[in-house]
Amino acid sequence: MTRVRAVAWASVALLVMSAGAAEREIVIDGPAGKLAGTLLTPDAATAPVPAIVFITGSGAQDRDEAVFGHRPFKQLADALAAGGIASLRCDDRGVAKSTGDFSTATTLDFVRDAKAQLAWLRTQPGIDPHRVGVIGHSEGGLIGALLAGASDGGVDFAVLLAPPGIKGREILTGQTEDLYRAAHLEAGRVAYAVERHRELMDAVEAGLDDAALDEALRALVEAQLELVEKNPPSADRVQALARAAKPGLLSPWMRNFISLDPAPSFAACRVPVLAVFGAKDTQVAPSRNVPAIKAACKDAAVTPEIVVLPGLNHLFQRCATGLPDEYAKIKSGVEPEVLTLVTDWVTSRAASPTPSR
């Protein structure tokens, strides 16, 4: 992939001076528009400091990856600043203060956005250009893996929070199966619906024609309805639900994500990597993804450090079930042990420039 060269920021305004850190609103030129964000630097640093670019998960996310009142990236950025590490976190393209079109972007477009941020960050006063890494969450973890395994990735180290280790289609089918099973639905019907989901992923990945795709989509919708309803659904209802679901299934992001495989990037990993999972994560389940990462990295020049933390969900909150419907009910944010783990690891790995760069 061609490395994107960032140019000087279009505007910078000093916003906040907090205890031990300086926070600035910034705007940079990305590959498809302006990327607005926050640069947080340790106050009174006596030498160039290491720095991090944050990469959000799937969906339209702001710079803090705010969800249900939680701001996990803000928490992590503050913890890093307290440890002497600068960070840049930007709104996704087309989100909040950033421009561009989010709806047409794919994971590979977000890789280019991350490269632009990395290149820009290296040019800033007080930042050590040889100690710049990423922290990516979920899809952002996938992007971090793609950067860590690329010769032009532009990273010196990477922290991957709940990163996929399997193809996108397998992530989506696994999520579906876990949600069905967590609802204690009839095992035989669950197995049937999961198989219909796999067939739909086959159809999308293979680029089958509309007729074949519509047939696979209707079969999945019918199987899903039969899981939760006593009476067979009408053909008209199945057709209406399938028609409503089709545009999202055929979006540029979904088509790209379904076929995207992180294994080659893990195998080609060339910088220090920390991969962290919550043991109760039902969106990127460690039971599926950790073995895949280990298998991919068996002959890698650099083997990622993998940590699975008990009792935590996809957002690294202390939880009961780990299911997505629990996120909004949990009042606490990222667990302190995660903040400490990430900060200590980055501090250690960024103590000196990465030899490969």
Give the chain's end-to-end CA distance (angstroms, integer): 17
Predicted local distance difference test score (pLDDT) of residue 350? 82
Which tokens in the block code for residue 152? Answer: 């032009």
Which tokens in the block code for residue 261? Answer: 């495989």
To the nearest 10°, report the CA torsion of 313, 316, 319, 322. -10
Predicted local distance difference test score (pLDDT) of residue 354? 53
Nearest C-alpha neighbor of 161 from the set 306, 340, 328: 306
Q: Can you name the residues that pair with 26 across neighbouring β-strands?
A: 12, 37
Given strand 21-30, what is the order of strands in its sheet?
Answer: 11-18, 21-30, 33-42, 86-90, 49-55, 127-137, 158-161, 273-278, 305-309
Tens-binned pLDDT, residue by residue, of the chain (357 aa) = 222 222 222 333 333 334 467 999 999 999 999 999 999 999 865 689 999 999 999 999 999 999 999 999 999 999 999 999 999 999 999 999 999 999 999 999 999 999 999 999 999 999 999 999 999 999 999 999 999 999 888 899 999 999 999 999 999 999 999 989 988 899 999 999 999 999 999 999 999 999 999 999 999 999 999 998 988 999 999 999 999 999 999 999 999 999 999 999 999 998 999 999 999 999 999 999 999 999 999 988 889 999 999 999 999 999 999 999 999 999 999 999 999 999 999 999 887 655 444
How many alpha carbons fall within 13 Å on the CB side of residue 342?
Answer: 34
Cβ 94 vs Cβ 60: under 8 Å: yes
Q: Indicate the residue type of 53.
A: V
Predicted local distance difference test score (pLDDT) of residue 333? 94
The domains of the chain, with CATH numbers, are 11-166+261-349 (3.40.50.1820), 168-258 (no CATH)
**Cα separation of 22 and 18, whole Å?**
6
Predicted local distance difference test score (pLDDT) of residue 299? 86
Predicted local distance difference test score (pLDDT) of residue 99? 98
CB-based burial of residue 29 (10 Å sphere; 0-12 exposed, 13-18 middle, 19+ buried)?
middle
Helices (H) and strands (E) in the chain, counts: 11, 9
CB-based burial of residue 332 (10 Å sphere; 0-12 exposed, 13-18 middle, 19+ buried)?
exposed
From the centroid of its chain, how far is CA 351?
A: 26
Please tell me whether the overall predicted TM-score, pTM, comes out greater than 0.85 for this model: yes
| 234: DSSP letter | P
